[in-house]
Amino acid sequence: MPAALVISAPASGVGKTTLTLALARAWRNHGLKVQCFKSGPDYIDPAFHAAATGRASVNVDSWAMDRATIDHLVARGTDADIVLAEGSMGLFDGVATRGVSGTGASADIAEMLGWPVVLVIDPSGQAQTAAAIAAGLRDYRPGVRLAGVVLNRVASPRHEDLVRRALNDAGIAVFGALPRHAEISLPKRHLGLVQAEEQAEIGKLIDEAARFVAEHVDLDAVLRFAASWSPQPATNGLNVTPPGQRIALARDAAFSFVYPHMLEAWRAAGAEITTFSPLADEVPDANADVCWLPGGYPELHAGKIAANTRFRSGLRAFAETRPVHGECGGYMVLGAGLTDADGIRHEMTGLLGLETSFAKRRMHLGYRLAALAAPMPGHQAGARLRGHEFHYSTILAQPDTPLAVVHDATGAVIAETGSQRGRATGTFFHLIAEDR
């Protein structure tokens, strides 16, 4: 029977990902089978989890998914020795209005599955107050159980001693304390961590993190506090309709933001997926019946995409007879033009009239519930889809037929409706689940 833990924190940027990767690799090095999950809408961290464990990681999301879907996804941890679910943001951070089975908070997953929480606490600029924060998180929601804490970025032995004493007085276990260690810092960019596949030295970095954490954290004590967990029997698979029987999926450094559970669900439903690289000037598989362009970083490669005429003309030819769909970055590439951060406009494929700009930078972030006004691959008009939007582009023009009526998590209508023209469709949100 596997043991399970949620790795969380009071806020973002405290070190959850680094600790998760280090624990996963350290236990794997000791011969344990480790299964990771990511709580919340993050399409970057699961690739790091896979690099650390050698096993695919998927997202579980209480706002977008029902309990049956979550049970189905976590059932892949049945044969593991230890399951680690990495949280997002702070432990209780979610949206104001409840979704399918929660607000999207990591605490929802911890309570729903009965998995204790290991808190990563950064006590920089404080001492005993760190214990007050940990105690407040422990007591905030009765159904969420705190296993203990790992201190990160402690300044000195004296600093560590002050924090440890206060935590011990509060009855909170301290599994270890990590001094600052630049060698295990993961590089970042505007949408989060630099992707795992872009880092040639990622294996060495995770190994160093595992060595460092094993030196400063009592791994056996953490395991003792993990909860034995008996997964619920997975009844049905995911309720996901593939966009086609044979899917041409754009996949490279500019097009990589797609949730792993979606690809698995497409394959489980019998679809075939072939990949191609727009950055390598490749075109969709001629035998595919649909093309899907996921999000990613087209803004970092806009000049190359504009120069790759074989890709652009090939995609336009494909769209003459078969549907093409783009999510976020893919949606922008389906548009007429993309203006980069330097104010330079790059011609995109022109399948849609969308014009976007990163020169006028503005963050768009949040859950989305879309009611389709027109069909898109895999879904008929009227379908309700749950997803998440996160980008820094500004819409300069969106002249085509709106694809959907889109609401945020509070129910407010938003302007990012997506677009439809001919056989081309696109959305700014990344699809997580169909609304049942």
Cα–Cα distance, 384 to 239 (Å, whole number): 13
Nearest residue to 291 via CA among 265, 311, 270, 268: 311
Let me know if 328 is a catalytic residue: yes
Rg (CA), the chain: 22
- Runs of H (alpha helix) within 188-259: 202-216, 219-225
Active-site residue (options: 60, 328, 338, 406): 328
Residue 129, both tokens: 């107050």
Residue 101 Cα to chain centre, angstroms: 18
Residue position matching structure tokens 């709580």? 39
Cα-Cα-Cα-Cα torsion 171, 176, 182, 185, nearest 10 degrees, comes to -70
Are 426 and 372 within 8 A, CB to CB? Answer: no
Alpha-carbon gap, residue 58 to 50, rounded angstroms = 9
CB burial readout 90-124, b (16+ within 10 A) else e: bbbbbbeeebbbbbbbbbbbbbbbebbbbbbbbbe
Residues in contact with 156: Cβ distance below 8 Å, sequence separation at least 6, in sequence order: none
Q: Determine which helix (DSSP H) or strand (DSSP E) holds 396, and give its type and residue range.
A: strand 394-397
Residue 226, CB-side half-sphere exposure with 13 Å CA sphere:
23
Tell me the catalytic residues: 328
